[in-house]
Amino acid sequence: MKRIPFLVLSALLLVVLPPVATASAATHVEFTPQSVLAPKVPEPGQPKFDQEVKALGSVQLQMSATQTAYVRSVMRGNSATYRSLFDNEVRCTWPGGEQNFVTGQNILQKGASAEPDKEDVQLTTRFLVHPGVATKVTCTAYVRAATLRDKLDARFQLHSGFLEFADTSVDNTTAGVPAQRSTPRGLVRVGPEDVAREPALPFFTLAPGTKKLSVFADTEYKTCYPGPGKDCTKPPTSTATFTLFVNQWNGDKLCQSSNATTTTREMSYSVHHHYVPLHLPDFTIRPDCEQRFNAYVQVKWQGGMDGGVQGTAVGLPDSRGSTKTHDSDMSHVFAVPIRS
């Protein structure tokens, strides 16, 4: 695999906007630190939701019809003046196609919350892009923001971040596509009687010669599964364990399995959507087994209120106030084959 070395929004009205980082035909771009506007909840009669959408920078790559690349965007946000939604979205486009992914979590107000660790949030949006045609792919990172109060706008600071093609040549499966899958639209329940196995990557086969797998799984967990008349403040948290399972098979017989990558989180309703990243960097492939695999995240309820694994986000405005919308994948899992 070819490796690329390492080489988030608007400012207040009536002041000079900070420069937006750009990268023409570059594979890595750093974001300019800046203040991010988080619009208040709209008044009755106005559009249901108002969200700031700000482009931070772009990278480009000329790709072949069979090529797959690994895209990564990292954003760190803090110093919120009020509890605010903070989204890290990447949209990769080419003539006739696109792939969109977004991760998000609320930033709590600086110095005024019961969870200081949620006042400084880092989000990573990472995935495999595969246009399936010979074309130039442009990937652009956007910060999306909104506050959760109805009287005043809020702000937070985009402290730092970057966007890059972390790997420009990732091996595909024998089907000619990347080993990747996102949780479809909807919410997969997690509760005392409901264990979720999402996001999940179904069976895939690799060509001979692969030595290891590096498996990434990013889950968006929504605290409080919705229901009629449900009070999501009692209890105010949901606790769940997230475990990444990676399996190798011989036909229908399990050859080996790893569940070493795991974390247990107590997640508050005030944060609402929680970003839970998992990564197994070195799943060693047994040569006496077939090159056939699958992977998934097991999400098991441990206490408090029930919750759910969030699927694709639907109907996101392309820009603030735009009537043009798009969908963006959220919870997903993918594997990067390693030959050396």
Express each pLDDT in 263-292 by its tens digit. 999 999 999 899 999 999 999 999 999 999
Q: Within 13 Å, how many C-alpha atoms sit on residue 28's CB side? A: 9
Tokens 């970003």, residue located: 275
Express each pLDDT in 67-108 by its tens digit. 999 999 999 999 999 999 999 999 999 999 999 999 999 999
- State residue 274's pLDDT score: 97
Pick the more confident residue, 303 or 43. Answer: 303
Q: Of 22, 4, 1, nearest to 68 (Cα)?
A: 1
Percent of the chain with pLDDT over 70: 93
Dist CA 287 CA 256 (whole Å) = 11
Please, which pLDDT band fits residue 25 given cuts at 50, 70 and 90? low
- State residue 91's pLDDT score: 98
Express each pLDDT in 302-331 by its tens digit. 999 999 999 999 999 999 999 999 999 999
Return the CA Rg of the chain. Answer: 20
Domains and CATH numbers, the chain: 28-167 (2.60.120.660), 180-338 (2.60.120)
Amino acid present at 223: T
- State residue 325's pLDDT score: 96
Dist CA 132 CA 156 (whole Å) = 38
pLDDT at 46 over 90: no
- State the maximum Cα–Cα separation within the chain, in Å, rounded to a whole number: 67
Express each pLDDT in 131-173 by its tens digit. 999 999 999 999 999 998 989 999 999 999 999 999 999 999 9
Q: Which residues, at least 6 apart from 73, have a Cβ–Cβ distance to it below 8 Å?
A: 88, 90, 124, 125, 126, 141, 161, 162, 163, 164
Pick the more confident residue, 10 or 100. Answer: 100
pLDDT at 11 over 60: no
Q: Is 117 helix (H, G, I), strand (E, B) or coil?
A: helix
Q: Which residues, at least 6 apart from 232, have a Cβ–Cβ distance to it below 8 Å?
A: 223, 224, 269, 305
Express each pLDDT in 169-193 by its tens digit. 999 999 999 999 999 999 999 999 9
Please, which pLDDT band fits residue 43 given cuts at 50, 70 and 90? confident
Strand-pair category, 135-147 with 28-30: unpaired
pLDDT at 20 over 80: no
Residue pair 209/338 in contact by the 8 Å Cβ criterion: no
Q: What is the pTM (predicted TM-score) of this model? A: 0.91
Strand-pair category, 52-63 with 135-147: antiparallel
DSSP at 288: T
pLDDT at 23 over 80: no
Q: Of 177, 69, 93, nearest to 132 (Cα)?
A: 177
pLDDT at 38 over 60: yes
Q: In whole angstroms, how far apart are CA 95 and each of 63, 72, 107, 135?
A: 12, 21, 36, 8
Q: In whole angstroms, how far apart are CA 266 and each of 200, 234, 269, 312, 331?
A: 23, 14, 10, 23, 19
